[in-house]
A and B are shown apart, each in its own frame.
Chain A
Amino acid sequence: MASVTAPVPSALHPRAAGFTKPARPIERRLGLLFATTGVALILLMGVLGLIMRLTQATVVDLSPAWFYRLVTLHGMGMITGALIAAMGALWYVLHESVPLRAGHMLASYALTVAGAAGVLVATLIGGFGAAWTFLPPLAFFPAGQWPVWSESVFFVGMMLVGSGFFVYCIDVLRQTTSTYGGLTGALGWRFLRGREPDAPPASVIAATVVAFDGLLAMSVGMTIGLGLLGRTYDTGVGFDLLVSKNLVYFFGHTIANLLIYLAAGAVYVLLPRYAGRPYEVTKVFVAGWGVALVLIVTVYSHHLYMDFVQPQWAQVVSEISSYASALPVAVITIYSLTMLVWGSRYRWTLASSLLYVGLAGWAIGGTGAVIDSIIPFNFRLHNTVWVVAHFHTYLMLTVVVWLLAFIAHLLERDAGVTSSRGARTWTIALLLIGGFGLTGTWFVEGILGIPRRYAIQPPGTAGYSLAGSIFGLMFALGVLVCVAQLASLARTAWGRRHYAFVDHMDSWTGSHYEARVSRAGGKGPAVEAAAPWAPADVPLAGRVQLCFAAAVCVVALASFFPQIVTASEASVRYHHLDHAGHFFLGLMVGLLIGSLPAVSRRLGDRSSLGLATVIAAPAAMMLVMVPRFYEPLERHPFEHALYHLAMAAFGLATGLGASRLGRVGGRLASFLSIGMVLLFAAAMKGG
C-alpha cells in the first residue's frame, strides 16, 4: 500500500506564496487573542446598539436613564473592542517585518481589558451615563443618576484603556524606528529624499504614523482624564471648558479615527495575499502618510465648529485639514488597493470579500464625513444623526468588517480553505443591505434635522428608527452567519494543525482515499527575538546633546527662584505652570543621568519599568495638584517646599524611565509628559 502526503491547499492567491511569509505561532496566537476578544466586545456592544435603536422605534421600553447608560457603554465599549482587535491585526502583520515584544503586547492587552471591565462596572452597576465623550463638566451634573464612585471608576477605566494603547504605541514606535534607522527611516522619509534605495513596508509606515499620533492622543486623553479624576475627589477642581472640550475631542476624535488607520495598516498586507500582487510602496504613498501624520491630529477641531468662541483661524484650518485628510485615503489607500484588485484574478474568499467591502464602506462613510466637515453644511448637520450615520458607516462597514476579515484570514491560512460560496454570498449581502440600510436611515434623519443621542425621538420619526432596527437586525444576522463560518473554519484549521491528510492507494483494488493521521509535533517557524538592547540607544547621545541638556537644566532651575514662585501665586494657571517648570527640571535631569553611558549600562534594558514609570509618574504628579491635597501643606513652609521638590522628583522618575525607551521612544515620551503637565495647567482653573 503506497501513501503520499497530500499538498496543503491554500486559500490565498497562488502568486501570494512568492511574498507571504509563513505565520509563526506567536503571531497567530496573539493575533487571535486580540481579535477574538475585541470582536466579542464589539458584538456585545452591537446588541446594546440594537436595543437603543429599538427604544427609539418605541418597540423596546427602555428608560432614558438606562438609554444613556447604554449610550455611554456602547460608545466606549465599541472603541475599546475595535482598538483591541485592530491592535492585534496590525501587530500580526507588523511582526513579519519588525521583531516586537510579546510581553509588552500582553501588558497592553491586560491594561485594555481591565479598562473595559472598569467601564462596564461604572455604567451597568454605577449607572454612569455622561457618554463616552464625557464633555466636562457633565460627569459632575448627574441629575441624580450616578454616584461619584462611578465617575472615578469610569475615568480610571478610560485611562487604563489609554495606558494599554500607550504601551502598544511606544513598543511599536521603538521597534520600527530602531529597525528602520530612526523616525525618518520608519516613516519612509529617507527613501523619499533618495537617501535609502528601498522604502519600509507599507505596514511599518502605517504603524509608525499610528503609534506616533496614538501617543499624542493618549497623552491628551490621560491629561483630561486625570483632571476629571481629580475633580471626583475634590470639588474645588475647575475646568476651562473650551480648552477641555478641545482636549476631549483631540483625544476622542483622534482615537476613533486611528481605529481605521490601524486596521488599514493590516489590510496593506492581507489584501495583496488574495490579489497575488505585493503592495508597492511608492514615494506618493510615503508622502501621503506623511501628510496623514499631521492631519490625523489637526482635524479634530471640526467638532468645535459650532463653538463660535473657538478662534476662527482654527475653524478654517480644521476645515481645510478635514478635507485634505480625505485625499491620502481616497487617492492612495483606497485607490491603490482597488488597483491591486483590478484584473488580478482576485481570489474571493470570506476574508478577501470582507476586505473589499471594507474599502467601499470607507469611501462612502468618508464622503458623508467630508460633507459634514464643511462649516456651512455643519451648521445644519452638527450633532444631527447625520454624524452618527457617517461614523457608523465606516466603523460598521469598514473597521468591524476588516476585523472579521482578519480573523477569517488567520483561520483560512490554517485551514487551507474558505467557507462555501453560498454562505459567503449571504454574509456579504446581509452586511451590505443591513449596514447601508441602517446608516441610510440615519442619513435621512440627519437631513430631517433630528438631533443625536435622543432617548425619545421627535414625534413622527419612530418609523425611521423602526426601519433602522430592521436593517440593524439584518446586519447582526450577517455577522452571525459570518461568525458561524469562522467557527467552521476554526474546526478545520484545528484539524489541519493536529492531523495530516494522507493520500492512500489500496494495492489490492488500486483505489485512492484520503486518511487522517496524527501530525508530528512541529514547532513551526522560529520566532525572531526582539532587537537586542543597545546601551547607546538613549534619548541623549553624544557630548553635545548631554551638554545641551545640562544647560537646559540650569535654565529650568529658575522655576525654583523665590521671585518666580511668588509671582506664580497670581493665578492657579501660573502656579501650575511653575509646577510644570519643576517637573521639566526633574525630567531633564533624569534624561541626562539615564543617558550617560556609564549609567545606561548599569541600568540595563529596563524598558518595562521605564514604560510603567513614564505613565505613572506624570499621572501621580497631576493627581497631587488638586487643592484638597496641597492646600494643607501650604500652611507649613517645609512641607510646602517638599511638595515643590516632589514635582521635580516626579519629573526625575519620568526622565529616568524615558531614558530606557530608546532614542525615539524616550524623546517622545519626555516631550509628551511635559506636554501633559502644560496642558493640565491650561485646562484647569481650580486647584
Chain B
Amino acid sequence: MSLHYGDPQIALGVVFAVLVLLLATAFVVIAVQAGSEVGVERVHDVGYWLRKRWLVLLIVVGVLVVGISLFDLPYASGGAAGRTVVKVTGGQFFWSLQPGSVPAGTRVRFDVTAVDVNHGFGLYDPHGHLIGSVQAMPGYHNKLDLTLSEAGVYRIRCFEYCGLNHSTMQSSFRVTPR
C-alpha cells in the first residue's frame, strides 16, 4: 500500500503552516523590538488596545469554526435502515469484517467493537488517503456511517495502541464495481 495526502488533511496542513509562519514572524519582530526602550505606559496603552481586538478575533474565529464543525460530526445518527451494516471486530491482532465487501455507492454503517483490548479502526481509501478512524472497544459498539462510492481495496490499520503487533494489525475491505 502506498500512502498519499488526503485533501482535507492537506488543507489543514496549509492552514497550520500559514499560522506557524505568522506566529514565527510575530516572535521575531518582538525579539528584535525587545532591544529598544519603550515606556511602560506606551506599551500598556497599545498592548491592551490590541489585546481586546486579539481576543475578539479569536472568539469570532472560534465561534465560526466550532459552530460549522457541529454540522459535520462523524457520529452516526438514527437507525440503520437503508444502510448495509458491516460488523467490524478487532482483536489482538486481527480485524474481522462481515461482510467483507459491498458494491460501490453502498451506504455503509460500520458497527465497530473489539474482543479483548481497545483498538482503532482506521480506514484508508483505495488511493491510501486516510478517511478517518473510530475506536473499537470491548463491550461497546461505535457506529460510523460512510458512503463508499469508489470501487477498490480499502485498507484498515489499527489506530489505538493494542500491544506487540499493533503496527502490523491490518486488513482490507473490498468495494466492488456496480
Contact = CB atoms under 8 A, between A and B. Distances in A.
B47 A339 contact: yes
Contacts of A309: 137, 140-142
Contacts of A138: 117-118, 161-163
Nearest to B167: A454
B76 interface: yes
Contact of A360 (B10, B27, B140): B27
A307 B66 contact: no
Interface residues of A, number: 86
B172 interface: no
B66 A143 contact: no
Nearest to A339: B47
A381 B12 CA distance: 10
A450 B3 contact: yes
B80 to A, nearest CB: 14
Given A380-B6, A450-B3, A451-B157, A327 B74 contact: no
B69 A65 contact: no
A371 interface: yes
A443 interface: yes
A456 interface: yes
Contacts of A275: 34
Contacts of A346: 34-35
Given A277-B40, A342-B38, A343-B37, A335 B66 contact: no
Interface stretch (A361-369, A502-510, A522-530, A658-666): A361-369
A230 B165 CA distance: 27
A18 interface: no
B9 A380 contact: yes
Contact of A447 (B9, B132, B144): B9
B166 A443 contact: no
Interface stretch (B57-65, B81-89, B94-102): B57-65
B171 interface: no
Interface string A419-460: 000000000000000000000000110111111111111111
A242 interface: yes
B37 A345 contact: yes
Contacts of B54: 330-331, 335
A132 B135 CA distance: 19
Contact of B139 (A143, A241, A336, A443): A241
B161 A453 contact: yes
Given A306-B133, A308-B144, A383-B133, A319 B161 contact: no
Contacts of A456: 167-168
B43 A343 contact: yes
Nearest to A332: B51
A545 interface: no
Given A343-B43, A380-B132, A331 B3 contact: no
B92 A241 contact: no
A308 B12 contact: no
Interface string A279-318: 0000010000000000000000000101111001001100
B3 A460 contact: yes
Q: Which of A137, A356, A453 has the most CB of B within 10 A?
A: A453
A451 B139 CA distance: 24
Interface in A16-70: 64-65, 68
Contact of A380 (B1, B30, B76, B130): B130
Given A135-B117, A456-B168, A371 B30 contact: no
B164 to A, nearest CB: 5
A368 B16 contact: yes
Nearest to A140: B117
Nearest to B28: A360
A250 B4 CA distance: 34
B150 interface: no
A405 interface: no
Contact of A379 (B27, B133, B141): B133
Contacts of A452: 161
A341 B66 CA distance: 33
B162 to A, nearest CB: 7
B39 to A, nearest CB: 8
Contacts of B134: 306, 308
A375 interface: yes
A449 B13 contact: no
Contact of B62 (A133, A323, A367, A443): A323
A148 B139 CA distance: 24
B9 A131 contact: no
Nearest to B71: A376
Nearest to A372: B12
Given A331-B55, A375-B74, A451 B159 contact: yes
Contacts of B65: 323, 374
Contact of A448 (B5, B16, B42, B92): B5
Given A345-B37, A382-B133, A455 B166 contact: yes
A392 to B, nearest CB: 15
A142 interface: yes
A324 interface: yes
A319 B139 CA distance: 25
A184 interface: no
Interface in B1-24: 1-6, 8-10, 12-13, 15-16, 19-20, 23-24
Contacts of A341: 30-31, 34
B142 A307 contact: yes
A335 B51 contact: yes
A457 B75 CA distance: 29
Interface in B146-171: 157-168
Contacts of B72: 375-376
Interface in A224-240: 240
A312 B73 contact: yes
Q: Which of B24, B44, B69, B141 has the most CB of A within 10 A?
A: B69
Contacts of B75: 308, 312, 315
A342 B30 contact: yes
A444 B5 CA distance: 9
Given A145-B163, A242-B137, A449-B130, A342 B33 contact: yes
Nearest to B155: A458
A345 B31 CA distance: 10
Nearest to B164: A143
Contacts of B44: 339
Contacts of B43: 339, 342-344
Closest 7 CB pairs of A and B: A343-B38, A449-B130, A346-B34, A454-B167, A308-B142, A379-B132, A339-B47
5 contacts: A138-B162, A363-B27, A375-B74, A451-B159, A456-B168
Interface of B: 1-6, 8-10, 12-13, 15-16, 19-20, 23-24, 26-27, 30-31, 33-40, 42-44, 47, 51, 54-55, 58-59, 62, 65-66, 69-70, 72-76, 92-93, 116-118, 120, 122, 124, 128-135, 137-144, 157-168
Given A307-B140, A376-B74, A460-B3, 13 more contacts: A133-B161, A145-B164, A308-B75, A327-B59, A331-B54, A356-B34, A375-B72, A380-B8, A381-B12, A383-B122, A383-B159, A447-B5, A458-B3
Interface of A: 64-65, 68, 71, 129-131, 133, 135, 137-138, 141-145, 240-242, 245, 275, 277, 284, 304, 306-309, 312, 315-316, 319-320, 323-324, 326-327, 330-331, 335-336, 338-339, 341-346, 348, 356, 359-360, 363-364, 367-368, 371, 374-377, 379-384, 443-444, 446-461
